[in-house]
Amino acid sequence: MKETILIVDDELSMREFLTILLEREGYQTVSAANAAEAVKLMEQGGIDLVISDVQMPGLNGIELLAQIKDKSPETAVLMMTAFSAAEQAVEAMKLGAYDYIAKPFKNDEIKLLVRNALEKCSLKRENKTLKQSVEKRDTFCGIIGCSPKMKEIFSLVQKVAPSGSSVMILGESGTGKELVAKAIHANSPRSKKPFIAVNCGAIPETLIESELFGHMKGAFTGAVVDRAGLFEEAEGGTLFLDEIGELPLAMQSKLLRVLQEREFRRVGGTQIKKCDVRILTATNRDLHQQVRESGFREDLFYRINVVQVVLPPLRERIEDIPLLIDCFTRRYAGRSVAVSPSALKLLMNYDFPGNIRELENIIERSLVLSPDLIQDATLPPHLVGRAVSASVRDVHIPAEGIVLEQMLEDIERRYLLKALEMTGGAKKKAAELLGMTFRSFRYRLTKIGVDSGDDQE
């Protein structure tokens, strides 16, 4: 379908000139003499690009731009300005205009800008469509998974999100606890308000009270100005306290008071501040054990542990590994990248102590080494070595011994012929199945006495 361009200018001659110029380039055009007319045309939909003058009677081009970006942010806008109106051009760019062009302009100049703007707009739409289709298939708010355990997590998040209850997210490091917290926030009535995440283990004990509650000028050395804390920044929204088990005991009691009274004071301050914040927490520690050992307050534990979401480690949801690999290849390579069968088997059999974060690092490393194919040679040595070590335990050598070279040749012959059988004799595809180049595959066929020919299909 032809792209549709809306031309907005109070000068009839400019509207007619642009209409003729752009329709000759194969675009559809509609035009408006002022911003009010343009808004009505925008409401009908189907506009891919708006070319608007800045100076118009009534609502000017800058005000029209703000309305367009508010109601249809995916629509590209190109502003036309007077040659000397540099400030207006800068303002337009800040408000989200794709670009601006000064009058008088050259025909080739505006044609190039229009083409580039529409290409960018088209790319945004494609990415949005792709993202929506992927999310409908196997994702929920950025969390990827099709395994039964992950479907249970999706269902639980949808149930707890609308409530105001505190949620504790449990799971090993790298299982995606912050993603789940964001999903709970995104599906809650607080979704339009801030989501603030803080790692309790990453802040020095001497600073964590100031970080959470803020401080007044002069409260301590270095407090040169008043500063709001994370509770104030998250007002009306969600505060995610990651690694809650690392919180010092002294701070645990202060946090408990805030959760009970819904109020706090900045460090060094006297004014009591009310707060409306939903608390989500996460930990990879055994908080029950910490409570028994007096390392975590029991009353705080029950206050934050109203609902539990327990994330499974990656080794317990191996059916999700291919989906995650596809996600990470798209992220780092911009497209889906093939994985050799043997490499996929190695990944599916690995226990991933670092969970999803470790898998992501492995895929990124593989793509650096081989942008077009993830194979055994691109995987970390410890992963491949582990598989080799496991296979050695199953090796049996008879007492009379073996001729290793002959056995290896026999194994190689069987794999080469099996690959040819699976691909119907197509040598190039057979080589890909075995993670080999076509040239190497053809050489090995010749070596075992099979006519390699010149077939590359």
The pLDDT of residue 243: 93
* Residue 271, CA distances (Å) to 214, 252, 265 in order: 12, 21, 6
The pLDDT of residue 391: 45
Give the CATH architecture of domain 4-131.
Answer: 3-Layer(aba) Sandwich (3.40)
Structure tokens at 289: 């054990």
The pLDDT of residue 91: 80
DSSP class per residue in 227-243: EE-HHHHTTTSEEEEET
Q: What is the pLDDT of residues 263-314, one digit of tens each?
A: 998 988 888 999 999 999 999 989 999 999 999 999 999 999 999 999 999 9
The pLDDT of residue 133: 45
Q: Supply angle C-alpha 126, 131, 135, rounded to 5.
A: 150
Whether 149-312 and 4-131 are alike in CATH topology: the answer is: yes
CB burial of 345-381 (b: ≥16 within 10 Å; e: otherwise) equals ebbeebebebbbebbbebbeebbeeeeebbbeebbee
The pLDDT of residue 1: 60
Structure tokens at 195: 């989501």
> 149-312 in CATH: which number?
3.40.50.300
The pLDDT of residue 85: 59
Q: Where are the beta strands (DSSP E) in 90-173?
A: 99-103, 139-140, 143-144, 167-170
Give the CATH architecture of domain 404-447.
Answer: Orthogonal Bundle (1.10)
Q: Where are the beta strands (DSSP E) in 44-163?
A: 49-53, 76-82, 99-103, 139-140, 143-144
Q: What is the pLDDT of residues 142-169, one digit of tens each?
A: 888 888 899 899 989 999 999 889 999 9
The pLDDT of residue 96: 85
* C-alpha span between 70 and 80 (Å, rounded): 20
Half-sphere exposure of 213 (CA within 13 A, CB side): 27
Domain limits of the chain? 4-131, 149-312, 321-392, 404-447
Strands 167-170 and 76-82: unpaired
pLDDT means over runs of 10, the chain (457 residues): 87 92 91 92 89 88 89 86 68 83 85 86 62 53 86 91 92 93 94 92 86 87 84 93 92 92 89 92 92 93 94 92 91 88 88 93 92 88 62 58 74 82 83 82 80 56
> 321-392 in CATH: which number?
1.10.8.60
The pLDDT of residue 297: 93
The pLDDT of residue 138: 59
The answer to whether 170 touches 311, Cβ cutoff 8 Å, is yes
